[in-house]
Chains A and B, each alone.
Chain A
Amino acid sequence: MSVFPPALLRLIRNLGNLPGIGEKTAARLALAILRWPEVRAKELAQSIDEVKEKIRFCSTCFSFTETDPCAICADPKRTTDAICVVEDPGDMMAIEKSSGFKGRYHVLHGVLSPMDGVGPDELKIKELLLRIKSGQVKEVILATSPTVAGEATAAYLAGLLQNEYIAVTRIACGVPMGTDLKYNDEMTLRRALEARTKA
């Protein structure tokens, strides 16, 4: 490694801090950046600067935004009746792309993860309760992933919300579109049957 000059080493080390980037990949990326025209590299540096400067949490839904409230929370055409609770901004984006939901969101920024020391206080749960207490919400849709931790988080939230006078629903789990039924695992099939709807 010591064949590289210090500035390049620094870049490699910084890139290596990114999730999923090992030392080799970091070196490959750093060398690619080094070979770029200067404007392109400057733009990368600037865009990193910019996200840190401009992007913050929406104080209502806790998604990333440049304005507070975010575009979704500020959109008068979206109903305030329903809040869809998701793990992270990526999940919110995925639901947005589906155009299947016209309400508001709430981003938890994770799921309960006892072994990582992530409990209710580390998630945006208090903030969700406050939003619900404001009285406009009629339905909370729990859209955490159907993983053990995601399900446990949904169960925890359902327990917290059971005494609020609102509907608490959980997204359905079932057979993915375009798959052959017999290749689904037993748990998925069982859940798909439980969540069946009138044809």
Chain B
Amino acid sequence: MPLHKTPAIILNHKDFGESDKIITLFTYSLGKITSIAKGAKRSRKRFANQLDLFSFVRPILWEKQHSSLTRIDQCDLLQPFASIRKVPERFAYAAYFCELVDAWVKDRDPHAELFHLLLWALRMVDHGASLAPLSVIFHLRLLTIVGYAPNFIACVTCNLWKGGQVFYSFNYEKGGIVCSDCAFNLPLKNRLSPGTVKLLSLAQKTSLAKLSRLHFSAQPLAESAPILENFVHSLLGKEIKSYRFLSRSHECIR
């Protein structure tokens, strides 16, 4: 039975039987792994709070024979992100980010960059960062990391960079901006102003450590959030349940 010890983020968990839990982990070295934690539901001795949502942990995982399910025996808590649970909106965003990653990655397909992105995002949520800009950046970086970086450099139809435009549009099929000359039959709601395009292209390149210095005002947020969300969701092709929760909690939570 090979053993792994790797940093991991708890993406989800569910009760299994009377006393066990099934944990979905995004591990650094193995990618997404499903693991069973025996006795985790009842006994606090071995796991206390390590196996709860969003926790950054270092578990010891055992491979089971004839099963892709691993067994989690021991787990160090590296960071509990204890502030996320104190604010419903933070909880909603953290759940959304984790679900997006869960939906995106395949089992046992390690993805170090995505791991760092999620960890960074959860830290930002925990530290009380502004959530709407964080979400825009998260979508943008996720797209870039998984190979669908939106093109903000040149019109995806005529391949030209045209400055001095009043607005650009966004083409989902080609994944990038369209100049106003080529955008005549694109829906009006896909509009991005030049300032927003510039900001997004900057947010694509800036290192994670410096990203929090980028300032998103209301207009670029309002323009880019729905476009990036739609783009990610259409590429995924499945429902992200937390997104519904998030949209609804925007209405409910003040």
Number of interface residues of B (CB under 8 A): 38
- Residue A135 at the B interface, CB < 8 A? no
Docked complex: B1-51 residues within 8 A CB-CB of A: 12, 15-18, 20, 44-45, 48-50
- Interfacial chain B residues near A41, Cβ < 8 Å: none
Count of residues in A whose CB is under 8 Å from the partner chain: 28
Residue of A nearest to B240 (CB): A115
Q: Choose among A147, A148, A186, A188 the residue with the greatest number of B CB atoms under 10 Å from its CB.
A: A148
The segment out of A31-39, A77-85, A152-160 that lies at the interface is: A152-160
Instruction: Select from chain B the residue with minimum beta-carbon distance to A191.
Output: B82
Q: Which residues of A contact B53 (CB under 8 A)?
A: 147-149
Cβ B16 vs Cβ A155 within 8 A:
no
Q: Are B244 and A159 in contact (CB under 8 A)?
A: no
Q: Which residues of B sit under 8 angstroms from A121, Cβ to Cβ?
A: 248
Most buried by A among B15, B50, B54, B85: B85
Considering only CB atoms, which chain A residue lies closest to B81 in the complex?
A148
Q: Which residues of B contact A152 (CB under 8 A)?
A: 84-86, 88, 91
Establish whether residues A188 and B85, one from each chain, have CB atoms under 8 Å apart when the complex forms: no
Q: Which of B44, B54, B245 contacts A119 (CB 8 A)?
A: B245
Nearest CB of A to B83, in Å: 10
CB of A117 within 8 A of CB of B88, answer no
Judge whether A176 and B44 touch: CB under 8 Å. yes
B77 pairs with A148, CB closer than 8 A? no
Contacting pair A112 B241 (CB below 8 A): no
- A19 close to chain B: CB less than 8 A: yes
Residue A151 lies at the interface, judged by CB distance under 8 Å to chain B: yes
Query: How far apart sit A91 and B101, CA to CA, in the bound complex (Å)?
Result: 33
Q: Counting CB contacts under 8 A, is A187 at the interface?
A: yes
Contacting pair B17 A20 (CB below 8 A): yes
Known: A185-B48, A185-B77, A187-B49. A116 touches B241 (CB 8 A): yes
With known contacts A112-B91, A115-B98, A148-B85, A156–B16 Cβ distance under 8 A: no
State whether B77 touches A119 (Cβ < 8 A): no
Report Cα–Cα, A184/B245, bound state, in Å.
Answer: 34
Q: Is B249 an interface residue (CB 8 A)?
A: yes
Cβ of B114 within 8 Å of any chain A Cβ, yes or no, is: no
Judge whether B244 and A115 touch: CB under 8 Å.
no
Asked if B200 is at the interface (CB within 8 A of a chain A CB), the reply is no
Is B144 among interface residues, defined by CB-CB distance under 8 A? no
Min CB gap B223→A, angstroms: 25
Residues of B within 8 A of A186 (CB): 77
Q: Which residue of B lies closest to A151 (CB)?
A: B85
Interface residues of B (CB under 8 A from A): 12, 15-18, 20, 44-45, 48-50, 52-54, 77, 80, 82, 84-88, 91-92, 95-96, 98-99, 102, 241-242, 244-246, 248-249, 252-253
Q: Chain A residues in contact with chain B, CB under 8 A?
A: 19-21, 112, 114-121, 146-149, 151-152, 155-156, 159, 176, 183-188
Sample of 17 more A-B contacts, CB < 8 Å, known A119-B248, A156-B253? A114-B96, A115-B12, A115-B242, A118-B245, A119-B244, A119-B245, A121-B248, A147-B49, A148-B52, A148-B85, A151-B85, A155-B86, A185-B49, A187-B49, A187-B77, A188-B48, A188-B49
22 A/B residue pairs, CB under 8 Å, sorted by A: A20-B15, A20-B16, A20-B17, A112-B91, A115-B95, A115-B98, A115-B99, A115-B242, A117-B245, A119-B249, A120-B248, A146-B49, A147-B49, A151-B85, A152-B85, A155-B85, A155-B86, A156-B88, A156-B253, A187-B48, A187-B77, A188-B49
